[in-house]
Amino acid sequence: MAIKRQIVKSILFYKNKYPILALTGPRQSGKTTLLRELFPDYQYISLENPDTRAFLQEDAKGFFEKYSKYCIFDEAQRVPELFSYLQTIVDESKIMGQFILSGSQNFLLLKNITQSLAGRVALFKLFPFDFWELKSANLLAKDYVDAMLKGSYPAIFDRDIPSRTFYNNYIQTYVERDIAEIINIRDMRTFRIFLSLCASRAGQLLNLNSLANECGITQPTAKSWISVLESSYILFLLQPYHKNFDKRVIKSPKLFFYDTGLLCHLLKIKDANQIRTHSYKGNIFENMIVSEYIKQNYHQNQMQEFWFWRDSAGHEVDLIRQDDDTLNVIEIKSTKTISADLFKGLNYFSALAKDTIKSQTLVYAGLDNQKRTIAEVVSWKDINNYI
């Protein structure tokens, strides 16, 4: 069955307001399927095809006589000169929604858009399924442990591919290939170790020196590899909220993966029972909830910013979302039992932030939602109703 994607509403809205739309996101997140279903009348051109790339590079005039308007250019970053041609065409034609670009290498795609197409492009990001999308198709797991382990890449659901098989192939076929195209990695085995070490730090403060030392690489190399993994939508860094509140605050970012299925695979977690007793269970649960907020932010095109907050004494709130000048504060706990201790972080932060707080939410692993004086208590499976 086809699963509805939240991002469709925004794409259709901006199609009539910009001459070019660009859709980026990780490989296998459903970009090509979405665009071909949404725009069946557009010509589809894959620039992964070497013959098509050669046609454009060797005979641009002939290429654009054939593909003059209403075209989808997939993996557009493959041919950087494409962007200059499109700039001239759309500036002359004034046609809205004339071209659609898609790509999986965010860094290269954005670089070309910034250089040639600034102000002409509406940019969107599509990630693997979010909870709203899975719930709408009755595919969201009933148990949070199963949801974390399975992950949310479309092929796992559409083609019923076992998660372990999918993620093993995904790393070899896409992640390693993309990384090798962007930077020169002489020893892929060392990079695989680096990727696993990143997984062991999910939900934790990023210490580049420690990560580099454990992997046997230099700190600049570790920084470069993190940057490439970010641009390939494998992981992201959540920055700390810097307002001091007269306390010393932590300035290092926290590391998260966009997909917990991939995270579990890298941690060599093979079944749900293993997660339940795993020392990283809390980190994986926090990762799933934080990434869900990030995914829904992009899928709903909200363009909000997110942080975490922690001071040097260890007081912390897991996620902060800004709403104009006020803050939505979220605490995340991998327990099914609600107790007073779960609200300590929220209580401490609310005493500091005071009038700047708009809402407080406790997301937990249970199934019941409650309205408490200090915060809304929300089940992990229902957070889409509170975003």
Residue keyed to tokens 């739309």: 21
Contacts with 244 (C-beta within 8 Å, 6 or more apart), sequence order: none
pLDDT at 247 over 90: no
As a whole number of angstroms, the distance between CA 132 and CA 340 comes to 29
Contacts with 197 (C-beta within 8 Å, 6 or more apart), sequence order: 211, 214, 215
Q: What is the pLDDT of residue 314?
A: 87
Same domain? For 228 and 279 the reply is yes
Same domain? For 51 and 142 the reply is no
Q: CB-hemisphere CA count at 13 Å for 282?
A: 7
Q: What is the pLDDT of residue 231?
A: 86
Same domain? For 210 and 225 the reply is yes
As a whole number of angstroms, the distance between CA 178 and CA 189 comes to 15
Same domain? For 168 and 87 the reply is no
Lowest mean pLDDT among 167-176, 289-298, 304-313: 167-176
Q: How far is CA 248 from the centre of its chain?
A: 30
The whole model's pTM is what? 0.94
CB 264 within 8 A of CB 292: no
Average pLDDT, integer, range 216-231? 92
Strands 99-103 and 20-24: parallel
Same domain? For 156 and 255 the reply is yes
pLDDT at 323 over 90: no
CB 215 within 8 A of CB 197: yes
Q: What is the pLDDT of residue 244?
A: 65
Side chain identity, residue 307: W
Domain boundary among 125, 158, 192: 125
Residue 3 lies in a domain: no
Tell me the CATH number at 13.
3.40.50.300
Residue 261 lies in a domain: yes
Average pLDDT, integer, range 283-311? 95
pLDDT digits (tens, 9 = 90+) for 75-132: 998 888 999 999 999 999 999 999 999 987 776 777 778 788 888 999 999 999 999 9
Choose among 97, 107, 126, 82: nearest CA to 13: 97
CB 60 within 8 A of CB 85: yes
Please state, for a pLDDT cut of 90, what percent of the chain lies above it. 77
Q: Indicate the angle between helix axes 50-58 and 81-93, nearest 10 degrees.
A: 60
Which residue has better confidence, 68 or 324?
68
pLDDT at 243 over 80: no
CB 254 within 8 A of CB 308: yes
Q: How confident is the model at residue 246 (pLDDT cuts 50, 70, 90)?
A: low
Q: How confident is the model at residue 312 (pLDDT cuts 50, 70, 90)?
A: confident
pLDDT at 1 over 60: no
pLDDT digits (tens, 9 = 90+) for 124-164: 999 999 999 999 999 999 999 999 999 999 999 988 888 99
Q: What is the pLDDT of residue 5?
A: 96
Same domain? For 72 and 217 the reply is no
Angular region, 71: left φ>0, alpha ψ -120 to 50, beta rest: beta
pLDDT digits (tens, 9 = 90+) for 159-193: 888 899 999 999 988 877 777 777 777 778 899 99
Residue 34: domain span: 8-125
Q: What is the pLDDT of residue 235?
A: 96
**Which stretches within the chain are classed as H helix?**
8-15, 31-38, 50-58, 60-66, 81-93, 106-116, 131-136, 144-150, 154-158, 163-170, 176-182, 188-199, 208-215, 219-231, 260-266, 272-276, 281-299, 344-353
Same domain? For 207 and 292 the reply is yes
CB-based burial label for 127 (10 Å; 0-12, 13-18, 19+): buried
As a whole number, the mean pLDDT across the chain is 92
Look at the chain and report how many structural domains it folds into. 2
As a whole number of angstroms, the longest Cα–Cα distance in the chain is 70
Domain boundary among 125, 158, 185: 125
Average pLDDT, integer, range 349-376? 93
Tell me phi and psi for residue 87, to 5 degrees.
-60, -50
Q: How far is CA 216 from the centre of its chain?
A: 28
Residue 32 lies in a domain: yes
